[in-house]
Structure 1
Amino acid sequence: MKRPRDENFPVASLVLSPEHRDAVLAFYAFARMADDIADTPELKSAEKLQRLDELEQALVAGDPAIPEAARLHAADRRHKAGLVQARDLLRAFRQDVVKARYNEWAELIEYCRFSANPVGRFLLALHNERSAAQAPADALCTALQILNHLQDCGKDYQDLGRIYIPLRWMMGAGSERAFFEPSHGALRRSVVDAMLDRVDALIDQAQSLPEHLQNRRLRAQSIATLALARLLSERLRRGDPVLERVQVSKADACGAFLRGLSGTLRRPVNGDHRITAAMVRRSGSSFRLGMQSLHSDRRRAMHAVYAFCRAVDDIADGAAPPSEKRAFLREWRREIDRLHRAPETPIGRELARASTLFKLPVEECHALLDGMEMDSAERLRIASDYELNLYGRRVAGSVGALSIRIFGVPSAHDFALDLGRTLQLVNILRDVDEDAACERVYVPLSRLAQLGLQDAPAATLVADPRFARVCDGLAEEARAGFTAADAALTRLDRAALKPAILMMENYRRVLARLQARGWGTRQGRLRLSTADRLHLISRAMRPA
């Protein structure tokens, strides 16, 4: 049997009070025994199920013949916590005996509802915490469980024949066997990263847990656990759990608990804005300079809009199957629909705040989601100029329409839509090869057909010299768009639109570099030089 100190995350740390710690250790010992029964290779399935049934009966009766059951039964009588949650765990352990594969994300989340969430609910009940803490606690427990699944995926596959990574996601790597093939690290990486995107969203949802907790010791443990969860997610993004053991170190654990202890000195405050700001920092977006030039409330609102864009774009670009992507985007539609009632995510709460302050048109968020649904197709082609304009309006015009209201220039609506289309054209031209690798072609098929080029695999299309000629035409349209934007700015408040101007100048330089390089000699995605970035920084520091 494992001991509490052998687990990846704190089980019954010394931070907890002795009375609560004893109850937690009783709960852990019972769960550990049940888990070992479900995982042992010496027993057949029928015998495992029988033993789990006997264990449950002993728990309910407090049978001294099974000390682990009797101890938890006694703890439940003292604290009114443990029995219900342990029986939920037993449901998950029975499932482990009979089910070794999960087809999609929703199945895995449903499993975590019984295999992980009861642990958090037990701790909340043990400490008489309020119901408001339950949702973030559930999110944290689910995140921890999936992190453990990813961490142990190679071991679970080899030793138990069990896979928690959704089968339909693994098909992106070719097959179940191909996913675990040591040499297929790049294919495996995309699937693991897509799962970690979902895990990080759960950790973000859980970030509000400490502020809901009344017990200072439990709050300290929650802060430490959140810190370790983020660290393990970062390590899993850099390591390959099939080839190596990816874990946090003892030094990491000590640092996390120091953070937890510091959290007991003052009452935690809402940290939603820190989450959206961190997403902007991690992105390295060229728009970040423009956002930094804004005053605090406007900058915070732009962080919320950008974080929303980043979250849904990561869904569309990730390795999940198209049907799963659409399901995740539907979750975001529901979040947008409840912005002015009770949003459930940090991004949603920050968007709600921005919407109230700056009267944001929420339908623009839905327009962006429409565009992301287009991007979520397994194979994407743009049929005509009309469809190209519609796509640009959804994915770029929507962001412009939201942004100019935050800038305080709602009269610049048409300018924002036109500039959005121009910037999207530059994006399309810059990312031709990257998109083709995902079987996406945004250059309209109608334009290619005029030169006698018919639809084909994306790599074939973009390699044809005629494709470069069409790109040249789109580049001229983008140049004309920048010229039109310059003219429109003479009639608008340039100081208020400084972030948009910085973004425009960034993209104008990208277009110039693309045209100088030429369309027939592409060598991957073009990036601006250090001199270009220094020029933009100097512009950002000057008045508009």
Structure 2
Amino acid sequence: MHARDRLRAKRPKHENFPVASLMLSRVHRDAVLAFYRFARLADDVADAPDLTASDKLAELEALEQALICGDPQTPEAAQLHAVNARHGAGVSEARDLLRAFRQDAVKTCYQSWADLVAYCAFSANPVGHFLLRLHGEHADAQAPANALCTALQILNHMQDCRLDWERLKRLYLPLIWIASIGGESTFFEPSRASLRRPVLDTMLNRVDALIDRARVLPERLQNRGLRAQSIATIELAGRLSQRLRSRDPVITRVEISKSDAAIAFLCGLGGARCPVNHDHHVTSAMVQHADLSYRLSIQTLSGERRRAIHAVYAFYRAVDDIADGVAPPSEKRFFLGEWRREIDRLHRAPETPVGRELARALSVFALPLDECHALLDGMETDSVERVRFVDDRALDLYSRRISGSACALLICICGAPNANDFAFDLGRTLQLVNLLLNTDEDAARERVYVPLSRLALLDLYDAPAATLVADPRFVRVCQDLSEDARASFAAVDEALKRLDRCALKPAILMMESHRRILNQLVARGWGARRGKLRLTATDRFQLITLALRPE
């Protein structure tokens, strides 16, 4: 068999991630190596360029029969059969892998993210199933193990995307994502990096979410060696994802370095004795990338309040990244639907770090979960190919969902339950400023949040976004909206006189930040929208002073 020659060329040390590391016991290492050798042989058959699809299927069927009966004529099958007899693990998991290899023999592409994940359920997840059964682990480790295995498989697909496409004519990236930028030839054209990069980054957002789901795995494992290996593997997965964000796998194969491997090994050894719950670390890490006003707002809180607002911000960031990504609308709706189901699970057993942190906040502060669903409604509005609002009422509804819901969750955590009307008015105010600030950026995504009823007066009723925002008469519309925003700030200021300013300081900081942005926008004017406006050094100093000052 030609595949046997290739088997000698690729060994566990050539894999990205640890196969049978020294962290495992000798008995377990031998069993893992037997599983690896059989899987490697079957994979080589599925990838053999000199075999037809029917030949591959016949070879894989022969391998499965050899595995079932322990045929000594196929040593790899016989060894794994013996492992299964000793440990009660190996055969069923390997047969699941064979299902994926049969699919590789006849299938060359996957339409959607869900299709790709379904493939990984057989091409990758059985490896985790085997390791857990081999070590006698509990069932609650299965879900995070599946997330890790799927993440590793997709990272490998991204690494090898060019080679898979050129040598095997396979594409393990969602086909409808690739089609959105012009198809496979455009995606793999070296000079089209600017089109390719958003697709890769959106995929990595999904992979990172899987890695985050996997971070709970070590604390659910009983075997210290397996726990150490899981920590090292999660660390390596995160590092490879970071490298794929900064380098182009179409131009060159992106790999983890020896220093990455060494650091991951040390992390595994160091964390195996006493694994740490990473849920809060996941949400707090997302806050590090927030704007200054958000970071200052959060820093005015402490203890459970800060932890809860971390969870809310991380939820907002996760769903906003979905809406702003380049995945097709159908995929975005699917991902947002997953978040709806996660919100519905908060009272029972959430499956993500952000979900578990939200559940904790729910138990402490009785968060209004309807606001989480309202936020998802707003994100669904942004998840279509072109956004247009008919009138001011549609804009107000969108603002209520996108910003009003976030402000309502914030004031609940701040301990000001009587400030709901203030929260909704503040949300509308902040959204008006964001609309004016991001006009051109939104237009690049075919989003125009200015109500069409206003634009109809200018004979621009439903033109392309670029045409709308470039027309000189659009200036008047922006001026009108800025006046609306100023009036909205005044109304919010009046409402604050009747509320607890100390409790609402986080909301006040965000309000003052946006007020300063609006002032800059008005001073610059609406005719020449050049560059991204940022808070000045004076603005930053004033906000920091406000954050430190007791009310």
1:338 is the counterpart of 2:345:
yes
Match of 2:110 in 1: 102
Which runs of at least 4 in structure 1 moved beyond 6 Å after TM superposition? Answer: none
How many equivalent pairs are there?
Answer: 543
Once residues 141 and 213 of structure 1 are traced to their aligned partners in structure 2, the CA distance between those partners, rounded to angstroms, is: 15
Once residues 61 and 250 of structure 1 are traced to their aligned partners in structure 2, the CA distance between those partners, rounded to angstroms, is: 41
Are the equivalent residues in 2 in contact too, given 1:453–1:466 (CA < 8 A)? Answer: no
Structure 1 range deviating more: 281-290 or 384-393: 281-290
Output the amino acid matched with 2:310: H
1:281 is the counterpart of 2:288:
yes
Q: Deviations over 1:471-500 (max 9, x none)?
A: 111111111111222221111111111111
For residue 287 of structure 1, report the CA deviation from its aligned partner: 0.8
Match of 1:185 in 2: 193
TM-score, normalized by length of structure 1? 0.98
Once residues 101 and 192 of structure 2 are traced to their aligned partners in structure 1, the CA distance between those partners, rounded to angstroms, is: 31
Once residues 179 and 292 of structure 2 are traced to their aligned partners in structure 1, the CA distance between those partners, rounded to angstroms, is: 31
Q: Deviations over 1:381-402 (max 9, x none)?
A: 0110000000000001111111
Output the amino acid matched with 1:84: S
Are the equivalent residues in 2 in contact too, given 1:426–1:511 (CA < 8 A)? Answer: yes
Match of 2:266 in 1: 258
For residue 164 of structure 1, report the CA deviation from its aligned partner: 0.6
Q: Deviations over 1:253-299 (max 9, x none)?
A: 11011011011232x24221111111111344631110011011000
The within-5 A match list for 1:364-443 is 364-443=371-450
Find 2:215's aligned residue among 194, 207, 227: 207
Find 2:239's aligned residue among 224, 231, 236: 231
Match of 2:16 in 1: 8
Q: Secondary structure at the match of 1:286?
A: helix
TM-score, normalized by length of structure 2? 0.97
Q: Deviations over 1:156-214 (max 9, x none)?
A: 11111100111100012111111111111011111111111111111111110000000
Once residues 423 and 283 of structure 1 are traced to their aligned partners in structure 2, the CA distance between those partners, rounded to angstroms, is: 16
Once residues 55 and 313 of structure 1 are traced to their aligned partners in structure 2, the CA distance between those partners, rounded to angstroms, is: 47
Find 2:54's aligned residue among 46, 59, 62: 46
Match of 1:89 in 2: 97
Q: Secondary structure at the match of 1:146?
A: helix
Are the equivalent residues in 2 in contact too, given 1:433–1:525 (CA < 8 A)? Answer: no
Output the amino acid matched with 1:216: R
Once residues 99 and 206 of structure 1 are traced to their aligned partners in structure 2, the CA distance between those partners, rounded to angstroms, is: 28
Q: CA RMSD in A?
A: 1.0
Find 1:169's aligned residue among 169, 177, 197: 177
1:447 is the counterpart of 2:454:
yes
Q: Secondary structure at the match of 1:43?
A: coil
For residue 539 of structure 1, report the CA deviation from its aligned partner: 2.0
1:525–1:461 CA distance, 2 compared to 1 (3 A): same
Match of 1:542 in 2: 549
Find 1:138's aligned residue among 142, 146, 155: 146
Unaligned runs of 5+ in 2: 1-6
Q: Deviations over 1:439-483 (max 9, x none)?
A: 000000100112332211100000011111101111111111112
Match of 2:3 in 1: none
Match of 2:4 in 1: none
1:270 is the counterpart of 2:271:
no
Output the amino acid matched with 2:442: D
Match of 2:331 in 1: 324
For residue 352 of structure 1, report the CA deviation from its aligned partner: 1.1
Structure 1 range deviating more: 451-460 or 160-169: 451-460
Are the equivalent residues in 1 in contact too, given 2:293–2:543 (CA < 8 A)? Answer: no
Output the amino acid matched with 1:298: R
Q: Deviations over 1:23-49 (max 9, x none)?
A: 000000000000111111111111111
Q: Deviations over 1:112-142 (max 9, x none)?
A: 0000000001000000000000000000000
Output the amino acid matched with 1:308: F
Are the equivalent residues in 1 in contact too, given 2:230–2:268 (CA < 8 A)? Answer: yes
Match of 1:362 in 2: 369
- Give me the identity figure in percent: 67
Q: Secondary structure at the match of 2:272?
A: coil
For residue 217 of structure 1, report the CA deviation from its aligned partner: 0.5
